[in-house]
A and B are shown apart, each in its own frame.
Chain A
Amino acid sequence: MSLKESQVMGYNAAMGLGLTEEMRKDERIFVLGQGMVNGGWFGTERGLINEFGPERVLDTNISEAFQAGMTAGAAIAGLKPVINMGFGDFALIAGDEIFHKLAKWRYMHGVRAPMTAVVIFPIGVIGGAGPEHSSCTEVLGMHFPGLKVVVPSTPADAKGLMKAALREPNPVIYHSIQSLGWVKGEVPLDPDFVVPLGQAAIRREGTDATVVTYGSMVQRCLEAADTLADADISLEVIDLRSLVPLDWGTVLTSVRKTHRVMVVHEAVKTAGAGAEIAAYIMEEAFFELEAPVLRLGALDVPLPQNARLEQLCIPSVPAIVAEARKLVAI
């Protein structure tokens, strides 16, 4: 019997595959959220109801606080809940349950047992969903100790990080990237394939400058690197994949190689993850730097509803190219 090693599939489908494989292995895993029975908001949970039935696939009412509260309760009771918030912006309604209960209960109540929970917390633009449905709030998870935060940028990572999150003893904020939901890629079919938390990927090796990025901006940074290669500027592109824990080892090794760094993300620049990353690099590797650490993020504006205007607010390939040129010229 010969098995295919990998298959081309969409990002959301790959998340679903990771979820399915883990649910088959571990009966404590169950999913909840709005529209779960119909496959979820974006198709991730398609077919789960058929395989696992209504006991493990719960359609909840429209109350994010209730859903997240149930998640926290189930997790501390020893189950492994997976909740899909739909649009990440809605998760803010459940801020107390996510950023206090899930993040802090293991600490507050001295829970020695694992407290596994995966909060699927989609972020970013999806083509004109407007200012209340397009935010990138991943920095919140970095700011509440107790949570792990992942930001997969490929279908393979979407699967591998989902599986890692379900084996992690602490609650994980799983930021699926809205704009990547239907992007296709090779996904390993090996049920033991896992992308460990806290492990960045060097997507492209380079020598002149390091671009630290994640999520929706990985592909754009790679395109920018292609463009700059024609001008003999060699960018190293690091996809962080996890923001908590953050793979500082990979980042700093690259800084020691290129001596120039910029951070690119879709989230607004001010007080975004890039601010933390830039500050950390300057604390740890200041005397490796030839230039200040630059940041490129979205404009500090509520995102417009118009999809074309929306694109003008977040970093484009030409903007990344321009910023990288500025960086290597310093």
Chain B
Amino acid sequence: MSALTELRIPRLGSVENAKLVAWRVSEGEAFRKGEVLYEIETDKTLTEVEAETDGVVARQVAKEDAELKVGDLVGWAADLGTDAETLTKLVSQLTSTARSTEQRKPQPSAEGGQPASTPPLVRISPRARRLAKEQGVDLSVASSSAHGDRVSGEDVLRFAKKPESTGHGIAGYENVPGEVVINSSRRRAIARRLSESVRTAPHLTADMQIDLTELMSARAARNADLKSAGHPSLSILSYVAHAVTHLLPMHRSLNATFTEAASVLWEPVNLGIAVDTEDGLVVPVIRNAQRKTVEELNSAIAQVAEKARSGAISQDALEGGTFTISNPGSIGPVLRAEAILNPPQVALLGLPGVQYLPVALEANDYKIEVRPVLRASLTFDHRALDGGQVIRFLNALRDRLERPGAGA
């Protein structure tokens, strides 16, 4: 008789938390190696977990929507071809031993990284436990409103009170109706990372006005050629990204990670592109962007953005960024694109979109003309960088974008 094998949440980059979104193979159903067994949502993305061998799902231990950790047991599989009777027998032998929450065994990563750290402990007071039971309040939901790592009876009572209208538990707004939307793990991750970033890195932003007259005409000519050849046209973002990624190797302190003891100057420019999705901001990474042409960057950006929006982006593609470009101007004509740093990076370029503005032209005796202008904002970690380095970089960026024919 064959034995059962464990199905556990595989290691996914640096991710710790994972929510089981859906099983793709039901209990008793057979699967082939490489077939998708289940989908999980991590802090950063939706991921499909594929079978490593052929087999049959004997038992689904984790239910859909279960909040899990890397290494958690989600189910048991049997050898392919195991008949139903044997499956039942095997499963019944399990029930005394298997539990999804125990035996948390993180599998070592390929790089031999450290095991996932233990989950943060939430203390639920005895009174909170009793009240939750009496009032039918889900403690995992109540705990989201608790202060810090403790759930008190008051937290539970706040949730138990008229859940329709005042379940939000916001003090002072008990009588204000409102809908409670539970935050997705991605939203929570964004909140955590951004708060952490603001708390640890002193942010400063320098703005630079860049006249895109020449670039716009060069781009128009280039796009006309591309269009006649049946290729997609190039975005302004691609030009800016190209300029940035080719300048960063000469301004290495901006393509870096800061720790108190040392700064790491990264060799490649792994460019993060902030992508607005329905479920919050995602920053896919284009590796070795400094080697890419404008056309290559243009298609790489389109590709990762599309993947991020459809949720098909893999965990790997979200990691290892060294510099980020945020392009809120693509959504609407914002006036300024200051942003919060994407840790552990030390600099981020925000693009508010091109606007036609009156510009007093120095070269033309300060005559005022309406020009296409980009007011780029460079937000940086003042621990790692001083204004001088940043402004030198912005000067170089401006020179390069204002005279597209001059440089490489």
Residues of chain A within 8 A of B150, CB atoms compared: 330
Q: Name which of B78-86, B120-128, B272-280, B370-378 contacts chain A.
A: B120-128
What are 5 A-B pairs at a CB distance below 8 A?
A259-B153, A287-B130, A289-B125, A289-B126, A290-B153
Bound form: Cα–Cα A287–B153 in Å = 10
Interface string of A253-293 (1 = CB under 8 A from B): 00000010000000000000000000000000011111100
Q: B113: shortest Cβ distance to chain A, in Å?
A: 36
Q: A260: shortest Cβ distance to chain B, in Å?
A: 10
CB closest chain-B residue, reference A289: B126
Q: What band does the interface of chain A fall in when counting residues whose beta carbon is under 8 Å from B?
A: under 10
| B314 in contact (CB, < 8 A) | no
| B152 in contact (CB, < 8 A) | yes
CB closest chain-A residue, reference B152: A290
| B193 in contact (CB, < 8 A) | no
Residues of chain B within 8 A of A286, CB atoms compared: 126
Looking at B125, B129, B152, the one whose CB has the most chain A CB atoms below 10 A away is: B125
Bound form: Cα–Cα A287–B131 in Å = 8
Question: Lowest 8 A-B CB distances belong to which pairs?
Answer: A287-B130, A290-B125, A287-B126, A289-B126, A286-B126, A290-B152, A290-B127, A259-B127
Residues of chain A within 8 A of B153, CB atoms compared: 259, 290
Q: B197: shortest Cβ distance to chain A, in Å?
A: 29
The interface size of chain B toward A, counting residues with CB under 8 Å, comes to 9
Binding site for B on A (CB under 8 A): 259, 286-291, 330
Bound form: Cα–Cα A263–B180 in Å = 41
Bound form: Cα–Cα A183–B7 in Å = 73
Is chain B's binding surface mostly helix, strand, loop or mixed? helix
CB closest chain-A residue, reference B123: A330
Task: A286-B126, A288-B126 given; name 7 further pairs at CB < 8 Å.
Answer: A259-B125, A259-B127, A287-B126, A289-B127, A290-B125, A290-B127, A330-B150
- Interface residues in B138-159 by Cβ distance below 8 A to A read 150, 152-153
CB closest chain-A residue, reference B130: A287
- Interface residues in B83-131 by Cβ distance below 8 A to A read 125-130
Bound form: Cα–Cα A330–B125 in Å = 9
Residues of chain B within 8 A of A290, CB atoms compared: 125-128, 152-153
Contact in complex: A287, B152 (CB < 8 Å): no
Bound form: Cα–Cα A266–B18 in Å = 53
Interface string of B149-186 (1 = CB under 8 A from A): 01011000000000000000000000000000000000
Q: B103: shortest Cβ distance to chain A, in Å?
A: 30
Bound form: Cα–Cα A287–B152 in Å = 11
Residues of chain A within 8 A of B129, CB atoms compared: 287
Bound form: Cα–Cα A289–B126 in Å = 6
Bound form: Cα–Cα A259–B127 in Å = 8
Bound form: Cα–Cα A287–B127 in Å = 4
Residues of chain B within 8 A of A259, CB atoms compared: 125, 127, 153
Q: B159: shortest Cβ distance to chain A, in Å?
A: 16
CB closest chain-B residue, reference A259: B127
CB closest chain-A residue, reference B151: A290
Q: B165: shortest Cβ distance to chain A, in Å?
A: 26
Q: A291: shortest Cβ distance to chain B, in Å?
A: 7
Residues of chain A within 8 A of B130, CB atoms compared: 287-288
Looking at A287, A288, A289, the one whose CB has the most chain B CB atoms below 10 A away is: A287
Q: A327: shortest Cβ distance to chain B, in Å?
A: 12
Looking at B127, B128, B130, the one whose CB has the most chain A CB atoms below 10 A away is: B127
Residues of chain B within 8 A of A288, CB atoms compared: 126-127, 130
Bound form: Cα–Cα A286–B130 in Å = 10
CB closest chain-B residue, reference A287: B130
Q: A4: shortest Cβ distance to chain B, in Å?
A: 48
CB closest chain-B residue, reference A288: B127
Residues of chain B within 8 A of A289, CB atoms compared: 125-127
Bound form: Cα–Cα A287–B130 in Å = 6
Q: B230: shortest Cβ distance to chain A, in Å?
A: 69
Bound form: Cα–Cα A259–B152 in Å = 10
Bound form: Cα–Cα A126–B125 in Å = 41
Bound form: Cα–Cα A291–B128 in Å = 11
Residues of chain B within 8 A of A330, CB atoms compared: 150
Residues of chain B within 8 A of A291, CB atoms compared: 125
Interface string of B214-258 (1 = CB under 8 A from A): 000000000000000000000000000000000000000000000
Bound form: Cα–Cα A114–B346 in Å = 86
Q: B152: shortest Cβ distance to chain A, in Å?
A: 5
Bound form: Cα–Cα A286–B127 in Å = 7
Residues of chain A within 8 A of B152, CB atoms compared: 290
Bound form: Cα–Cα A286–B129 in Å = 10
Q: A182: shortest Cβ distance to chain B, in Å?
A: 43
Bound form: Cα–Cα A288–B152 in Å = 11
Residues of chain A within 8 A of B125, CB atoms compared: 259, 289-291
